[in-house]
A = this chain, B = another copy of it.
């Protein structure tokens, strides 16, 4: 797979417009590593500076505060993980061709797409999960992205497949969305965050998860 992770992408982009100095890239890398390992609050800027091979002051030349540094790391993850569930190019990939795509195919595309994303950005997701409950800036980002962008799209999709008879009409839309997302996200988090060290038969688990949702909602 030739897709890069978010950090690489960020660095790549900024090489072109030189919006990111090499030291800054090192700082981001070091911060991500350390935040993931010890949590934001227990990571000191001096440790980041050390690991990045940079003077302590240099961090603050690029990020006004430590929290700025966190947000600059976490924000793109929120928007790229949550939004893309239904936005931009992704929408086309997943939903626009909905006429000729079965429900099963939609689930598969959706799951595999996010599976790959998290696979490439596990560390970032770990930070996000750890910090989201402690910083309302992040929560607001979440709400904004989810409520305004993801949720309405999902409603649309669920209703369509209810009409097509692939999802039971006896179940409320909200509940269906909850069960579906819980199962998808639960799988991904179990796979990459909770038990990353277990041997996984990914293909099998993905298929079983899809079947589980389909049968469960029928």
Contacts and interface: CB of A to CB of B under 8 A. Distances in A.
Interface stretch (A21-29, A100-108, A180-188): A180-188
Contact of A186 (B126, B183, B217): B183
Nearest to A135: B39
A56 to B, nearest CB: 10
Copies in the complex: 4
Contacts of A209: 179
Given A41-B39, A41-B41, A212 B179 contact: yes
B134 A42 contact: yes
B182 A186 contact: yes
A168 to B, nearest CB: 9
Contact of A133 (B130, B134, B185, B216): B130
Contact of A178 (B133, B185, B190): B190
